[in-house]
Amino acid sequence: MENYNIVIIGGGPAGLAAAVAAYDAGERSILILERDSQLGGILNQCIHNGFGLHTFKEELTGPEYAKRYADQVVERNIEYRLNTMVMDISKDKVVTAMNRTDGMFDIQAKAVILAMGCRERSRGALNIPGYRPAGIYSAGTAQRLVNIEGYMPGRKVVILGSGDIGLIMARRMTLEGAEVQVVAELMPYSGGLKRNIVQCLNDFNIPLKLSHTVVDIEGKERVTGITIAEVDSRNKPIPGTEEHYECDTLLLSCGLLPENELSRNAGVEISRITNGPTVNESLETSIPGVFAAGNVLHVHDLVDFVSEEAAAAGRNAVAFVNGELAQDTEGEIALTVEGGPRYTVPSTIDPKKMTDQLTVRFRVGSVMKNKWVNVYIDDEKVIRKKRQVMAPGEMEEVVLKKSMFENHADAKRISIRVEEA
Amino acid sequence: METRNLICINCPMGCPLEVTIENGEVTNVTGNTCPRGAAYAKKEVTAPTRIVTSSVRVSGSQNGAVMVSCKTASDIPKGKIFDIVRAIKDVTVACPVHIGDVVMANVADTGVDMIATKEVL
C-alpha cells in the first residue's frame, strides 16, 4: 500500500490552497486526488469575473484564479492524480481510489483533508410537478454546456431559484442570444449576491419574482411551457396567481449541498444545518486527523474565503502529522448562536489550540437590517460589530483573538448574538 | 441635489452605496468600504462600464478542449456589451492559447482587446 502523510480529496480551490499551505508549512509528502481531467474544480467553468479581490487584490475570472493556485502546486512539485475517483475513506485513513491507468488502489494517509466541494440541488430533490421532458438543467450543467462544451441548452429560458449560478447563467444565456424571461425565487429574498442581481438581471431587464415557484412543467419530449405562481408565507402556491411562460428550457438554481458521501461513510459527524462536517477550531472533523475546508464544509459565497479556510486546514494537517496538534478535548468550548445566525464554522473552539486570530463564519436565517453582531465569552462582550444588512445569501464572519480569552481561563460558553441596535 | 442608491458590483461584498449628485457631478459617495466603491459609483452615474466575459471556440487542442474563456482586458461602456458578444460570435482561435493572449483586438471598436482567460494546450 502507498503511504502519504497528507491526502487531499479534491483538486478544486480548497484542495489546491490546502496543498500549497501544507507544503509551505514544511510537509513534502502530499497527494491531491481529483476526479476531473484538470485541476481547478468548478472554477474552470465560472468564466465570469469577480474572483480574487481579497487574495490577489485584482479581479480575476474563475479559470484565472484556478490557474494561480494550480501553478503554485506545480511549482512546488506537489503530486496530484487526475481522472481519479475516491471511492472510500476508512476510519483509519485508508483512502481507496480508482482511475483508468492504476485501476483500484489504497493509500494510507496520516491526515486527510476533505475538499470535495458541493453539488447542486436537483429537480428530484425539489418535488416540482409536471412531465419529465428534455430541457430541464441545473444552472451549473447549463454553465458547463455553454462555457466548456460549447452548446446552447435552449433559446427561451425560465430560471427557478436565484442562487448565484442561476443569476450568472441568466446573463450568460442572454449574451449568447437566448431570451431569459423570468427568474422565480421561492423565498422572499434572493439566494444570490446583490452584485449579481444588479449586473446579471437589472442590466438586462430580467425580472426577479420573489415568493414565486414553478407549479407546472409542460411538454412531453421537450419543455414547451412553465407555469409559476406566487406562494404564501408557508411556501404554498396561491390559487389564481398562476402565470404561464412559453419556453424550451428551465434552469434550476435552488441551492448547493456539500458533497459528503465519503465523509459520512468514514463516520465523520455531519451538521444537519450546513450538511457539512462539524469541525473544531483546527477545522478537524470528529475523526482525528481528518480535516475539512471549502464548500464540502459549508457553502461559501467567495472563493477567496475558501482558499483562506483551506490554507488553515492545510497547516493544521501538517501540525497533526508532526504530532503538534493536541488531541485532548477538555478545553473545547461550544459556540452557540442567538437571535439570527443558523450555525457557525467552527462549532467548537479550544482557546489553547487556536491561532492568534480565528475567523468564525456563519449565516443568518432571514434578512435582518441595522443589527449588532455581538460576541460574548461567558457574559463579557468581546466583539461588537454593526451590520446594516444581513441576508441568508451572504456569509458573515467575526474574527476572534486569542488574547480575548486571557481573562477567561475557565470559559464555558462563546456565543454569537444578533442584537438590536 | 440628487441622491442615488447603488449596489457596488466590484466584489461579492456588494456594498450599498449612496451617491450625491449636484449639477451632474458626483459630490459624495458613502457606504463603500474601499476606494473601488467610490470609483464605481462615480462611473455608474455618469458613464457606466462593465467587463464582458465570454468564451470562443478553439481548434487543435491536444486534450480535446473546444472552448476557451475570454474577457475584455478592461471595462467597456455598458451600451457596447451586445456589440462585443456579436463581434466574437464566430471567432475561432488556434491552440496553444495562454492567459492574456489576444482573442480579438479592438473588439467592436471599443479600443479594448478581448483576451483569453484560460490556458488551452
**pLDDT tens column, A111-121:** 999 999 999 99
Name, in order, each residue with C-beta under 8 angstroms of A233's C-beta and a sequence gap of 6 or more: none
Mean pLDDT over the full length of chain B:
93
Whole-number pLDDT of residue A326: 86
* A13 in B contact zone (CB under 8 Å): no
At A198, the amino acid letter reads: V
Residue with the three cell numbers 493544521: A316
* B47 in A contact zone (CB under 8 Å): no
Closest CA to A233 of A206, A211, A215: A211
* B69 in A contact zone (CB under 8 Å): yes
Closest CA to A50 of A303, A300, A296: A303
Q: In chain B, whose CA is at the least distance from the CA of A394?
A: B13
Confidence grade of residue B103 (pLDDT, cut at 50, 70, 90): very high
Mean pLDDT in residue range B22-34: 89
Span between the terminal Cα atoms of chain A, in Å? 59
CA angle A291, A293, A35 (to 5 degrees): 95
CA dihedral A64, A67, A69, A72 (to 10 degrees): -130
Whether the per-residue pLDDT at A421 is higher than 80: the answer is no
Winning range, highest mean pLDDT, from A336-340, B16-20, B113-117: B113-117
For chain B, what is the radius of gyration of the CA atoms? 18
Mean pLDDT over the full length of chain A:
95
Contact B88, B103 (CB under 8 A): yes
Mutation site for A-interface testing, chosen from B33, B69, B114 by largest number of A Cβ within 10 Å: B69
Cell numbers for A95, please give them.
Answer: 483512502
Whole-number pLDDT of residue A408: 86
Cα–Cα distances (Å) from A380 to A91, A324, A387, A411, in that order, read 39, 31, 20, 10
The partner residue sitting opposite A203, judged by closest CB among B6, B8, B78, is B78
**Structural fold of domain A1-119+256-327:** FAD/NAD(P)-binding domain (3.50.50)
* B18 in A contact zone (CB under 8 Å): no
* B111 in A contact zone (CB under 8 Å): no
Mean pLDDT in residue range A105-130: 92
> Per DSSP, which regions of A46-93 are E strands?
49-51, 60-61, 79-81, 85-89
Whether the per-residue pLDDT at B51 is higher than 90: the answer is yes
> Which CATH number applies to B2-46?
2.20.25
Mean pLDDT in residue range A201-228: 96
* B60 in A contact zone (CB under 8 Å): no
Task: Give the CA count within 13 Å in the CB-facing half-sphere of A410.
Answer: 0
Mean pLDDT in residue range A35-53: 95
At B115, the amino acid letter reads: I
> Which CATH number applies to B53-116?
3.10.530.10
- Domains of chain B: which residue ranges? 2-46, 53-116
Mean pLDDT in residue range A129-145: 93
SS3 annotation, B86-106: HHCCCCEEECCECCCCEEECC
Confidence grade of residue A125 (pLDDT, cut at 50, 70, 90): confident
Is A64's CB within 8 Å of B99's CB?
A: yes
| 3-state secondary structure (DSSP) of residue A403 | helix
Confidence grade of residue A331 (pLDDT, cut at 50, 70, 90): confident
Residue with the three cell numbers 415568493: A211
Is B7's CB within 8 Å of A203's CB?
A: no
> Which CATH number applies to A122-254?
3.50.50.60
Closest CA to B44 of A195, A391, A387: A195
The interface predicted TM-score of the complex, written ipTM, equals 0.93
- For residues B81 and A204, what is the distance between their CA atoms, to the nearest angstrom? 10
- For residues B105 and A402, what is the distance between their CA atoms, to the nearest angstrom? 53
Residue with the three cell numbers 465570469: A48
Contacts of B53 in chain A (CB under 8 A): 47-49, 61
Q: What percent of chain A has pLDDT over 70?
A: 100
- For residues A251 and A200, what is the distance between their CA atoms, to the nearest angstrom? 15
Whole-number pLDDT of residue A204: 97
Contact A8, A39 (CB under 8 A): no
Name, in order, each residue with C-beta under 8 angstroms of B30's C-beta and a sequence gap of 6 or more: B17, B18
- For residues A343 and A316, what is the distance between their CA atoms, to the nearest angstrom? 22
Which range has the worst mean pLDDT, A324-328, A346-350, A380-384?
Answer: A324-328
Whether the per-residue pLDDT at B12 is higher than 80: the answer is no
- For residues A53 and A307, what is the distance between their CA atoms, to the nearest angstrom? 12
Whole-number pLDDT of residue A62: 97
Distance of residue A47 Cα from the nearest chain B Cα, in angstroms: 6
- For residues A152 and A178, what is the distance between their CA atoms, to the nearest angstrom? 9
- For residues B78 and A173, what is the distance between their CA atoms, to the nearest angstrom? 17
Cα–Cα distances (Å) from B51 to A54, B47, B70, in that order, read 18, 14, 11
Cell numbers for A209, please give them.
Answer: 419574482
Tens-place pLDDT, residues A333-373: 999 999 999 999 999 999 989 999 999 999 999 989 999 99
Contacts of B78 in chain A (CB under 8 A): 203
Contact A39, A20 (CB under 8 A): no
Please state whether the peptide bond connecting residue A207 to the residue before it is cis, i.e. omega within 30 degrees of 0: no
> Between β-strands B53-59 and B67-72, what pairing exists: parallel, antiparallel or unpaired?
antiparallel
Whether the per-residue pLDDT at A192 is higher than 90: the answer is no
Whole-number pLDDT of residue B15: 87
DSSP single-letter state for residue B51: -
Whole-number pLDDT of residue B63: 86
pTM to 2 decimals? 0.94
Cα–Cα distances (Å) from A144 to A42, A92, A172, B56, B89, in that order, read 9, 36, 11, 14, 18
Mean pLDDT in residue range A257-267: 97
Distance of residue A198 Cα from the nearest chain B Cα, in angstroms: 7
Tens-place pLDDT, residues A165-180: 999 999 999 999 999 9
Confidence grade of residue A393 (pLDDT, cut at 50, 70, 90): confident
- Domains of chain A: which residue ranges? 1-119+256-327, 122-254, 329-421
